Amino acid sequence: MNIQVKSGEATSVTTDMLVCLGYEQEKTWSKVIRPIDKKLGGLLTDLRKSGEFSGKANQTTLLHINGKLGAKRVLLVGLGAWETMTLDRVRQAMGTAVKRARHIKAKGMACVIPDVPKAIDKLDQVAQAMAEGMLLGDYRFSEYRTDHTEDRKTLQSCTLLAPSSASQARVTLGAKRGQTLGEATCFVRDMCNHPANVMKPSRVVAEAKTIAKESKIRLKVLDRQHMKKLGMGGLLGVGQGSIEPPHFIILEYSGGPKTQRPVVLVGKTVTFDSGGISLKPSENMEHMKADMTGGAEVLAAVRAVSRLKLHMNVIGLLPVAENMPGGRATKPGDVLTMLSGKTVEVQNTDAEGRLILADGLAYATRLKPACVIDIATLTGAAMVALGNVAIGMLGNDDALKAAMRQAGNDSGERVWEMPLWDEYFEQLRSDVADMRNIGGRGGGMITAAMFLSKFIGDHPWVHLDIAATDWSASECACFSKGPTGTGTRLLIQYLINRANGS
Ligand code: BES
Ligand code: MN
Ligand code: ZN
């Protein structure tokens, strides 16, 4: 989808559908919409008065206006209450709008930028959220369908109407950024939607190769032999049951001074998690094609920092494997020697994410990192603890956690912290090795993070558990059914904020 920015009168813009966003309990329409209302002879005000349009979040009313404006139709979308307004409401309203546009087979739409409360009154942020909402709401995945009639209904262009020509540059800046972040999320959704017989470890390597063509990115891929030499027992152990060989991908973006320490991102990339010998139940097992979400998000983030030309150094690490049972597979009770030198008793081969991440984190410590962030569909316990609303966050550095919380609020992909107290390690004690890879019944998200913490030393580190947020059971404003790509915008927003020194 092509996103453009124009300034000028909303009443004269020619488009299939003009979108006007309105708040709940607004007495009069905001000044950007009043001229439209006037041209329509007060129709919008009448709809308010009669209660037909209340402005509740994501409520819509579609009007055919018979040539009274440049636009063929007007779509009213509710933003909810002014007092509790957030940027995420803007995203959702725009996601709702594009879905309506697609429904009526509109080829183009235009949208007036809404007034927002002072606290979020940054025009570029509003424009960014609008662009993100449009791309997220418009997303669909039809690669494996043979009937493409639905695709032909695609909305081709969206125009954001800047409130004045003086503001056009700010709006354009925000819209560009929003486009980059929205496209990053859609890239992740694509990767996760591909079935695991296509998105194999080798295909992830191919995707990384494509990304390495962007400017200032270097790629290194370690094969099994190289991994053996280094002693990556965790990744090798998880990958050994599959006929698809594991890989370790290193993507390096150098946008900052040579001496500047890099931010290192580590993403869990299990292209299919069958559970291994500790086989999962078959119900919903197909969701485990998305167990590479973390890795896809790291790829997307590295691509985005390059496209945004951020002045910083970022390294992305992807331990990539398929977790399968088989004659060579790791068995419960096996002991692995990890890259860090520590030994792990594998009591459950389905707790594989922490094994490959442990090697990723140990590798990260060798890169003189400024900080390390890992992101992973790590535990079903994340769903029990937080439901599918918040991303679980655990880490060892207050400043890094605070910055992540800020990026969460900015992006709408919010994080919630869980404790990482020493007592939790008791659950991970093994009778034969330095630790085992599963804890007891309680605190599963925490014991998984506790396990990881043993491989990062005292480098500033944050772990993000996206197991509960990575899949949507239903279609809503900014999601389609299936992979959500949640966490992508969080990571990139964190990097943008960091590059801006905030
Ligand atoms: N990939 C799963 C976690 C997961 C579950 C992601 C559901 C998305 C949806 C992970 O590898 C896993 O199997 N974790 C186990 C750990 C347990 C064996 C300690 C789990 O959470 O059940
Ligand atoms: Mn598993
Ligand atoms: Zn897994």
Q: Is there an atom of ligand 1 within 6 Å of 381 CB?
A: yes
Pocket test for ligand 1, best of 350, 451, 471 (most atoms within 8 A of CB): 350
| Pocket flag, ligand 1, residue 467 (CB < 6 Å) | yes
Which domains are assigned to the chain?
2-162 (3.40.220.10), 189-499 (3.40.630.10)
Please tell me if the CB atom of residue 291 comes closer than 6 angstroms to any atom of ligand 1.
yes
The H or E element that residue 251 is part of is strand 247-254
pLDDT score at 121: 66
* Average pLDDT over the chain, rounded to an integer: 96
Q: How many angstroms separate the CA atoms of 232 and 250, rounded?
A: 14
Q: Is the CB of 42 under 6 A from ligand 1?
A: no
C-beta of residue 201 within 8 angstroms of C-beta of residue 321: yes
Contact (Cβ atoms closer than 8 angstroms) between residue 378 and residue 268: yes
pLDDT in tens, 139-174: 999 999 999 887 777 899 999 999 889 899 999 999
- For ligand 2, the distance from its centroid to the CA atom of residue 192, given in whole angstroms, is 16
pTM of the model: 0.97
The full DSSP string for 266-304 is EE-EEEEE--TTSPPPSTTGGGGGGTTHHHHHHHHHHHH
| Ligand 2 midpoint to CA 280 (Å) | 8
- Any ligand 1 atom below 6 A from CB of 350: yes
Whole-angstrom distance, CA of residue 197 vs CA of residue 461: 33
- Catalytic-residue membership of 331: no
Closest CA to 478 of 3, 19, 97: 97
- Write b or e for each residue in 246-258: b if 16 or more Cβ atoms lie within 10 A of its Cβ, otherwise e: bbbbbbbbbbbee
273 lines ligand 1 (CB under 6 A): yes
For ligand 1, whether the C-beta of 465 sits within 6 Å is no
- Cβ of 428 less than 6 Å from ligand 1: no
Nearest-atom number in ligand 1 for the CA of 448 is: 19
**Nearest ligand, measured from the Cα of 378:** 1
Give the ligand 1 atom nearest the CA of 377: 6
The span from the CA of 245 to the CA of 231, in Å, is 16
pLDDT at 288: 98
Q: Does 353 sit in the ligand 1 pocket, CB within 6 Å?
A: yes
Question: Could you report the per-residue pLDDT of 361-414, keeping only the tens digit for each?
Answer: 999 999 999 999 999 999 999 999 999 999 999 999 999 999 999 999 999 999
Q: Give residue 383 CA to ligand 1 midpoint distance, Å.
A: 10
The yes-or-no answer on residue 118 being catalytic is: no
275 Cα: distance to centroid of ligand 2 (angstroms):
5
Backbone angle region of 438, left / alpha / beta, with phi > 0 → left and psi within -120 to 50 → alpha: beta
> What pLDDT, on the 0 to 100 scale, is given for residue 26?
84
Q: How far apart are CA 379 and CA 350, in angstroms?
A: 10
The set of residues, in sequence order, having a beta carbon less than 8 Å from that of 413 and lying 6+ positions away, is 391, 469, 486, 487, 488, 489, 490, 493
Pairing of strands 415-417, 391-395: parallel
Which atom belonging to ligand 1 lies closest to the Cα atom of 352?
A: 11
Point out the ligand nearest to the CA of residue 290: 1
Q: Which atom of ligand 1 is nearest to the CA of 437?
A: 19
Give distance in angstroms: CA of 291 to centre of ligand 3. Answer: 6
Q: Which residues in the chain land under pLDDT 70?
A: 120-121
- Confidence (pLDDT) at 502: 78
- Do 130 and 3 form a contact (C-beta atoms < 8 A)? no
- What's the rounded Cα separation, in Å, for the pair 184 and 274? 27
Residue 446 belongs to what H/E stretch?
helix 444-453
Catalytic one of 216, 280, 342, 405: 280
At residue 349, the pLDDT reads: 99
Cα-to-centroid distance, 245 and ligand 2 (Å): 18
What are the backbone angles phi and psi of residue 245, rounded to the nearest 5°? -70, 145
| Any ligand 1 atom below 6 A from CB of 54 | no
Report, in angstroms and rounded to the nearest whole number, the Rg of the chain calculated over CA atoms.
24
Tokens at 236, concatenated = 């090798």
Distance (angstroms) between ligand 3 centre and the Cα of 130 equals 33
Q: Where are the alpha helices (DSSP H) in 139-278?
A: 168-193, 201-211, 224-230, 233-239
Q: Which of 176, 268, 354, 436 is catalytic?
A: 354
- Give burial (CB, 10 Å; 0-12/13-18/19+) of 12: exposed
Task: Give the whole-angstrom CA distance, residue 239 versus residue 322.
Answer: 6
